[in-house]
Amino acid sequence: MILNGIASRQSLGVGGVRYAYIAKLADVAIEYTEGDGETPSTAAFTLADGSEITPGTGGNSPFKKYVFTIETSSSDAAQTGTPAQGSSVFAHTVNMTFHKKNAALRNEVQALAEDETVVVMVDCNGYAELLGGQCGEGLHMTAGTAPSGVAKGDLNGYTITLTANQAKAPYTVEDTELTAIDPNTPAV
């Protein structure tokens, strides 16, 4: 590994997540490209059978788009290491909040709980990264709530936490890949 240093920040980033693309792990094949210190490590997608993803209405993209209300959802990749064992792991975590309970939303949350998934999270700076999928292991739903709320300003809806321990930090997903899984992705 080559250390390159970090140049002075030209501008500061902001926290928060715009939206996510979620697919069942079994429906996608992921090709990883390792960065060299100057270029990021990236992920690219095809269908599980190796065929190309066809974007657009009537396309075959296995990814579904989930849009979040401002300041309600997040992702993280906390790293822990055990020097004595010579190991390191990244805990990929996705926290999502969906408002206003209804049957269709309940069914969607249930489907997320039943399958291993991969998530492409796009933050408020336009940066996209892939969580889950490394070593053939996807994210699992590990927590969730379905509160009714007490006061009028309380959450009525669902919270979901998806997690997976992965060998590496999340891979960058380039704009061309975002366009492939959803052609309506705004330029970032």
**Structure letter (DSSP) for residue 116:** -
SS3 of residue 133 by DSSP: coil
Among 63-67, 116-120, 180-184, the least confident range:
180-184
* HSE of 73, CA atoms in CB hemisphere, 13 A: 26
Residue 38's pLDDT is what? 73
Instruction: Pick the more confident residue, 68 or 7.
Output: 68
Residue 41's pLDDT is what? 87
Q: How far apart are CA 81 and CA 43, in angstroms?
A: 24
Give domain limits for the chain.
Answer: 17-181
186 exposure class (CB count in 10 Å sphere: 0-12, 13-18, 19+):
exposed
pLDDT at 44 over 70: yes
Question: For residue range 72-119, what is the model confidence (pLDDT) as tens digits?
Answer: 999 999 999 888 888 899 999 999 999 999 999 999 899 989 999 999
107, two tokens: 């069914």
Count of beta carbons in the 10 Å neighbourhood of residue 116: 17
Residue 184's pLDDT is what? 67
Question: For residue range 134-182, what is the model confidence (pLDDT) as tens digits?
Answer: 989 999 999 999 999 999 999 999 999 999 999 999 999 998 888 888 8
7: Cβ–Cβ under 8 A, 6 or more apart, which residues?
none
